Structure 1
Amino acid sequence: MQKVKILSIDIFKLRRYSMRIALGGIGHESNTFSPLHTTIEDFDVVRSDGLLEDEVARFLIDEGVEVTPTIYAWALPSGIVSRNAFLQLEGELLKALESAGRVDGVCLFLHGAMEVEGIGDGETHLLKQIREIVGWRTVVSVALDLHGNLNPQLVEYADILTAYRTAPHVDVVETRLKAAKLLLNSIKTGIKPISTIVKPPVLLPGEYVVTSIEPAASIYQSLEEIDRKLGVVDSSMLVGMAWADTPHAGASAIVVSDGKNEGEAYEAACKLAKSYWDKRREFRLEVEAGEIDEVVRIAKNSTKRPVFISDSGDNVTAGAPGDVPIAIERLLDLKVRDAVVAGIYDPEAVQLCRKAGLGGSVKTSIGGKIDRVNGYPVEVIGRVVNLIDGGAVLRVDGIDILLASRRRGWTSLDIFREFGVDPTERKIVVVKLGYLTPDFRRIAKLALIALSPGCTNLVVEKLRYERVRRPIYPLDKDFSWEP
């Protein structure tokens, strides 16, 4: 009798492109305290086949999926998004999705803290429109930023919600791939997940919840244990975006179930939210912090170099304009002679430097042109030591000021190289950030945080909130909470 050899074959891969998944997203972190207004010109957009070069698209294609690209639009964090900009981008994404016809799943890259003029929560609005096109049987998976402010209503329109587990973020691609893998598994197995959100009333700036230090480290490590629970597909803990005066601002615990164990998932989400709440008073900044004069003196007297100072109140990566010149003023007043400030958004000053030419002398006022509440222009006389496309380096009494004609996120060494500055050769490096990015952590011999004024003030009690739900910590201190 002839023996029959049984082969284990993935029928799905054998039938090339038997599954269709739409890919896209609109990402923005909106700071409602920022004087900026986010317009269509602020967004970078990848369209159609450009999306097929994304890591997630390549993964899905390798798995035999027909990827249907829509658009992926994102902008540097800033003020609320104009209604026209959002509706234009949303309309383009929805039109591409509608033109695609039947899809088995939708994989989206969103932030979670997009606030739209006259609309409010942009993510929920978008997901609701997507559901109207694809129907309720199609699986929708969303990758989110850890600093998203989630509307609990999101779970009505998205089956899978998963967020970064690191701050600073080093798992962006990993999280997006996870969203795609969870989506793929759901379609293959026919098991439709259900996401649960529980929101502890905590509104902390991200700088207080760095995931590599306690108590955040233990909380984020516990997610792996939650994921192993029976019926749990995935879990996330979002810190939220503190500089958004919106009804859903603050932390969110998410647990995604396999659709059969929703009760257990809700219980796990409650425990996760409670663990975050219980530790609320223990979250702290990872480095020494103080008023700007104090940290400048510490940096000046330190034997270490370079010393990085975060000008945290004017953090461009959290939506601030990046033109508050208080750091320049204090460095000059305290007679620091070896420093670089990265940087100041001031197109007028850049233009004057360009007019003066390399080596030319410039007398001008720097900064304070957009955020007029938290800083005034600083009068300086300096020499132009470098000119680049869209920027200039103005040296004032030994302080190199990086001037930009457009807002920049001062997050990498590449930007310093672009301006022709080596931060490792300077005594003090001021960056308009909160916590340092991985690039700067590698070279900083000492890191300090200046508790400077601005629309990303780390002391959130100094900001005027009117729309956040109350009570909420730390705006309110003495109250109890149970999920």
Structure 2
Amino acid sequence: MTDLTPQHPVIAIAGLGIESSTFSPARTEAPAFHPLRGDEILSRYQFLAPGTELHDSAHWRGALVGKALPGGTVTAAAYAELTAELLDRLGRLGRIDGLWYDIHGAMTVEGLDDAEAELLARIREVIGPDPLVSTSMDLHGNVSRELVHQSDLITCYRMAPHEDAMDTKERAARNLVDLLTTGAPRPVKAWIPVPVLLAGEQTSTRIEPAKSVYAAVDEVEATEGVTDAAIWVGYAWADEPRNRAAVVVTGPSREAVTTGAERLANRFWAARRDFAFVAPTGTLDDCLDAALASTARPYFVSDTGDNPTAGGAGDVTWGLQQVLARPEFKDEDGPTVIYASLPGPAAVDAAVAAGVGATVTVTAGAEVDDRHAGPLTLTGVVHAIRHGDRDAETEAVLRVGSVHVILTRLRKPYHHEHDFTDLDLSPRQADVVIVKIGYLEPELFAMAADWKMALTPGGVDQDLTRLGHHRIRRPMFPFDPDMPDPDLTARIVAPSDRPLTGPRE
């Protein structure tokens, strides 16, 4: 390993990340963030492993980084607990040259409208105005002018699904090291809010127009005078003034970042009416009818309204009730169906106590979100039990007719083939696999012979106009489909800017 010299910058790492649906009754507490502290933070990032070029280019100091499964609003007490520890740990690091602020950007906290900017302002009170801050985000985060002001560099993912998540984090860290080691002046930042708010499933970079819109990001970044370029779609399932799309381009040249930002913002706005769902959609019954009529196997159906990786409570029973009511699935010899998943701690305990092979009657779901259907009672054979999952803690599979229902102690996303095979399930041999998800994550997408998205109810309902936003800035597309063209000129947030005291934008 290369010996570090005093010339190597000292860089702290800190951040809290979650998507918080304000349309879910769930609340998120501090343990959900699984916070890492000190040197254990470096283990999150392969590109900072000892011996790597980036690791050896700086003195990296972990403060606190916590990442939670998307969920409901973060309680004020949880935020206070986590931020107090984060700030205390930062303060005890001593002098630093830079901070890598690793966040998601869609965290809603009780009593706060712009939690990430608020936290970064408090971090600035601890570390002072001199250290450079590089902020990395999910493209479904929200970018207020205040967040841009407090950051020197800011970037986000360029792919949805987020196959470039770790690449983005590395880019944020590398850009910070480069800025600190070259002695270049603080970048100029061109920020443009774009009054569009769309679901991630409508803006997937797998398909047009997002594929081309995001391809232009690389072109702008390659321009002389530009350090980084980014487009945020924003987070559609929270109701705050900051929720909307945004563009930020950073670099040493005011002219270059202005031109690049306006190019990206105008391109996104021009494409607003062309964004469409990444897969065919329909009611859940429509999707099941299509699956049963098709010869494609396995056929995946997304139960989208309660997607736990977008902020859904995960325990809405409406979808599973519809599935179990289908006559095709009543008999054990019917089409093989996998349903993932439904939280039910008592149901899981009962299955564990009975053991594999036993027939049990249990009740699960609707402990958090009972607005669409109540708790569901089901009788079936215990197919499998698994302990020790990071998210679910304990999982149990109950076969009800031909449906294999995955029950969990705590909610869990099912994104990988091993999530199923670890439970003695064979998704590739199943007829229909129903997952609480939006667009299929890469492994599921590769596994699916065909798929559809069911527009189901829940805290992350894909029909945004029926959710009831009333605090977002209007006019906003698609809520105001015939709104006039907005002002998409770049707002320059220059290095010499002071904290904003006027009206927020």
TM-score by length of structure 1 reads 0.94
- What are the Cα deviations for residues 406-442 of structure 1, in whole angstroms up to 9, with x where unaligned? 1111211222123221111110000000000011011
Matching of residue 203 in structure 1 with residue 193 in structure 2: no
Matching of residue 57 in structure 1 with residue 48 in structure 2: yes
Summarize the alignment of residues 279-428 of structure 1 with structure 2, pairs less than 5 Å apart.
279-334=271-326, 335-336=328-329, 337=334, 338-389=336-387, 390-428=394-432
**Distance verdict in 2 for CA 1:356–1:63, change over 3 Å:** closer
Offset at 1:60? Answer: 6.4
Report the residue type matching 1:37 in the other structure. R
8 Å Cα contact 1:61-1:67 kept in structure 2: no
Give the structure 2 partner of residue 9 of structure 1.
none
Matching of residue 262 in structure 1 with residue 254 in structure 2: yes
Partner Cα separation in structure 2 for residue 197 and residue 56 of structure 1: 29
Partner Cα separation in structure 2 for residue 373 and residue 274 of structure 1: 40
8 Å Cα contact 1:16-1:65 kept in structure 2: no
Partner Cα separation in structure 1 for residue 207 and residue 470 of structure 2: 32
Partner Cα separation in structure 2 for residue 391 and residue 400 of structure 1: 12
Match of 1:184 among 177, 186, 189: 177
Offset at 1:383? Answer: 1.3
- What are the Cα deviations for residues 271-304 of structure 1, in whole angstroms up to 9, with x where unaligned? 2112111111101112111011000000011111
8 Å Cα contact 1:26-1:74 kept in structure 2: yes
Partner Cα separation in structure 1 for residue 47 and residue 198 of structure 2: 31
Give the structure 1 partner of residue 14 of structure 2.
24
8 Å Cα contact 2:4-2:56 kept in structure 1: no
Give the structure 2 partner of residue 72 of structure 1.
65
Of 470-479 and 360-369, more deviation after overlay is shown by 360-369
Give the structure 1 partner of residue 161 of structure 2.
168
Partner Cα separation in structure 1 for residue 248 and residue 373 of structure 2: 39
Write out the 4+ residue segments of structure 1 that deviate beyond 4 Å after TM superposition: none
Give the structure 2 partner of residue 452 of structure 1.
456
Offset at 1:56? Answer: 4.3
Partner Cα separation in structure 1 for residue 142 and residue 42 of structure 2: 29
Report the residue type matching 1:234 in the other structure. D
8 Å Cα contact 2:47-2:55 kept in structure 1: no
8 Å Cα contact 2:199-2:462 kept in structure 1: yes
Partner Cα separation in structure 1 for residue 203 and residue 262 of structure 2: 19
Match of 2:229 among 232, 235, 245: 235
Report the residue type matching 2:436 in the other structure. K
Give the structure 1 partner of residue 31 of structure 2.
41
Q: Aligned pairs, how many?
A: 470
Offset at 1:215? Answer: 0.4
Matching of residue 134 in structure 1 with residue 135 in structure 2: no
Of 407-416 and 431-440, more deviation after overlay is shown by 407-416
Partner Cα separation in structure 2 for residue 471 and residue 204 of structure 1: 14
1:100 is paired with a residue whose SS is coil
Percentage identity across aligned positions?
35
Partner Cα separation in structure 1 for residue 237 and residue 53 of structure 2: 36
Partner Cα separation in structure 2 for residue 43 and residue 178 of structure 1: 24
Partner Cα separation in structure 2 for residue 448 and residue 179 of structure 1: 35
Offset at 1:13? Answer: 7.7
Give the structure 2 partner of residue 95 of structure 1.
88
Give the structure 1 partner of residue 499 of structure 2.
none
- What are the Cα deviations for residues 178-220 of structure 1, in whole angstroms up to 9, with x where unaligned? 0011111111222211333211111100001111211001111
Give the structure 2 partner of residue 275 of structure 1.
267
2:19 is paired with a residue whose SS is coil
Which structure ranks higher in relative contact order (CA pairs < 8 Å, sequence separation ≥ 6)?
A: 2
Of 178-187 and 262-271, more deviation after overlay is shown by 262-271
Matching of residue 248 in structure 1 with residue 247 in structure 2: no
Offset at 1:264? Answer: 3.6
Report the residue type matching 2:238 in the other structure. A
Partner Cα separation in structure 1 for residue 125 and residue 314 of structure 2: 40
Partner Cα separation in structure 1 for residue 42 and residue 88 of structure 2: 18
Report the residue type matching 1:461 in the other structure. T
TM-score by length of structure 2 reads 0.90
Report the residue type matching 1:197 in the other structure. W
> Which residues of structure 2 form unaligned runs of 5+?
388-393, 489-505
Offset at 1:376? Answer: 2.5
1:232 is paired with a residue whose SS is coil
1:199 is paired with a residue whose SS is strand
8 Å Cα contact 1:13-1:64 kept in structure 2: no
Of 292-301 and 227-236, more deviation after overlay is shown by 227-236
1:299 is paired with a residue whose SS is helix
8 Å Cα contact 1:60-1:67 kept in structure 2: no
Offset at 1:363? Answer: 2.1
Partner Cα separation in structure 2 for residue 22 and residue 333 of structure 1: 54
Of 359-368 and 65-74, more deviation after overlay is shown by 359-368
- What are the Cα deviations for residues 122-163 of structure 1, in whole angstroms up to 9, with x where unaligned? 210111012122222211001100100122211221000010
Match of 2:207 among 203, 208, 213: 213
Partner Cα separation in structure 1 for residue 70 and residue 346 of structure 2: 22
